[in-house]
Structure 1
Amino acid sequence: MAYQELSQAVAFDAESPAPGALSRMGLLALAANLRSGLSADALRYHFLAEQLSEVVFQLDGPGTFTFLSPTWSSLTGLPVEDVLGQPLVEMVYPEDRPRVRAVLDAIAARVQASFRLELRLLASGGVRWVELAAHSSPTGQGEVLGTLADTTERRQLQARLQQTDRLATLGMLLPGFAHEMNNPLAFMLANLEYLLSSMGDVAGATPASQVAEWREAIAEVHEGAERLRQLIGHLRGFRAESGQGPVDVNTLLDTVGQMVSSTLRTRGRLVRDYSARAPVAGSESGLRQALLNLVLHAVLSLPDGEDTEANEVRLVTRDGTGHVVVEVHDTGAGIPPELLPHVFEPLFTARDARPGPTLSVCRDIVRTLGGSISVSSCLGRGSVFRVTLPRVS
């Protein structure tokens, strides 16, 4: 493309030319030829388009790309030369194409002179959200001029903020909810114990087999109510606290395991491999949140509805010299090597665009407690998150 060649000519470094590059005189001659072939306005347009962070584009009357700035390749991972001559709508996510066609038709019919909308582009690495701003060309030949601004990170951040807001609202409602649940559970447990203790009064007038069935049924209900009571206790403890005391990571992991059990049930099994004996220092609620995020991330990495015996999340603890190590293993698909350096970034998600457990929060909590966190992964075999925490002597 002419503007790219001209840019190379202008940016040529005479003191350190690249191997095989044109001579300085050759590049200056190329620049002179380009200048003679383009008007001053066209040169300014091309130069400005190349410097902007947004993608600058031009469409002809039918909506086909006739110009794209080099930023297109950075945004989509697709070469500019492969896209020129292609219709804009073919590069748009299928569900967004009707809206794009509608606004292009409105401009062509001179019903609308400009438009701005957010849509999804098909890129080499998946889908990218962009804000498209376009205007009818002043030439009057039906051309469309516009820009594409990448809004993917903004969309992901909005999703994270919405999730955080929901969790904050839930956190405010949770104490009252747990209190209201505890009252009827207390009545249930007390009455179940009364029924069990009263079985002897009717044992003589009722067949023994019938009494045994009653006892078994009441025992099952009692067990279920007790599990609910424990779960509500875990939820009431899942809140901010300022205390800094010794924390038993084995007990904490058991609590986390109960909290993810319903999600894990259709994905795999939980394996505990505890050998740590020393407690760690820090906030129990903060460490619980960090470990819950790690374990939930591991659970969601497992395929849903497949072989639950073959897939597992393994929780490992062991004592080290002056520290305790906690590891969360999974047998999921693994994390691609190019994504590993970004795992603990605020907007990272290895599965898709849906919000998931925020691993950056885990990193921040662990660092606050004086520990460290790392990850290793193998595609097709799973991942291991390793947390090192200072022990209480």
Structure 2
Amino acid sequence: MSATASPRRRILIIDDNPSIHQDFRKILSAVEGSTSLDSLETAIFGAPQSRAGGAYSFEVDSAAQGEEGVQLVEDASREGRPYALAFVDIRMPPGIDGVETTARLWKADEDLQVVLCSAYADYSWEEVAQRLGINQRLLILRKPFDNIEVRQMAHALAQKWDLSRQSRRREEELAQAVTERTRELQATNARLRQEMEDRAKLEARLAQSHRREALGRLAAGMANEISSPLGFVSTNLNHLRLALEKQTGGSPLEDPAELLDACREAIEGMERLKRIVQDVKLFARVGPQPGVAVNPRKVLDDSLARAEPNLGPRIQRVLELREAPDVLASEEALAHVFLNLIVNAAQSFPESHPEPRIRVSLSAQGPDVSVEIQDNGSGIEAEHLEHIFEPFYTTKPGGSGLGLSICHSIVTGFSGDISVDSTPGKGTTFRVRLPRAA
């Protein structure tokens, strides 16, 4: 639309009298400057300014009955060319009257402005208000009507229709802007929450790493201090046992059988301490290290074979070993992890367990390879579960508490992850995830 063009609005005349339609068309479609009506309009609207773009020109359509008018309004709304204003006659026999027509028009187009026209007092204002409500979209025009009054109503209601639609569009734009801004804020909040959670996890891992580093230094020093005297005690106790076994004469200070039992128990205790020292040394050496391509299926097969004495014939094996690519790791270190987890699973069953079962699975999952070792044994209590990878933490009688800590350090040292799920009385599942080899 150019700067000098007048906006064109659609008007619908609904009346059963054809002459009324002709009258409205003459009034609303009058040629500029052709009648005295224009002089009156100039006095009211200020023609020079209005004709420059402030006044409206109208496209007038007609309907003889209310049903026909409702259909035209529905079609216009569907086509995107709605009517701004409808002049509706009150009495249109034999069809629906003007009040019912108006109610249906508003269902078809809620922005439509309506002027009810009547030469009779069929309805009082109170009755109209009762049926249609007090509505700013409704005016009453008595017949015979004044031409300038009709022209004035048409211009005023057309402008009101424009402002109403502009206001609605502005509200929709604001609502859309609020929705988009809310969505952006929600996304930002979600990112912030995720960043805070990631940061908390990172800080926890750093703290755990620092604790392990300190414990590793302590363990290394302790291993160096204990290894030498431990070897001396073990050698001398073995010598004493051999000497007592060979003794044939004399009167010993104590019963030789008791001495032999004491020696054997001491040796067993020394052997246990030796294993602890070996675990401590291994734990102290474990740390981040570059991996090489390792076949996880081969390592699992070897680990299962080495674990056979611990499994025995009573425990059922369920193997789900799918094809999987090589992983970045060390074959020896990975075998230590798998063997430790399988033996732990075998030790989780009480003697009275009716159907002990261990499931070992291998599969590729995205960029990683996943290994699960699951048992249906006694499970782990919740208060122990969060400490299970901490050094020297154990619930087993005689355990060193370093086995799972070493497994954790080995796996994370190869940029992998190890986790555990457990339900007391139902069993435990360890999951090891390692990155694929390039």
TM category, shorter: 0.3 to 0.5
Q: Which structure: larger Rg?
A: 2
Per the normalisation by structure 1, the TM-score is 0.38
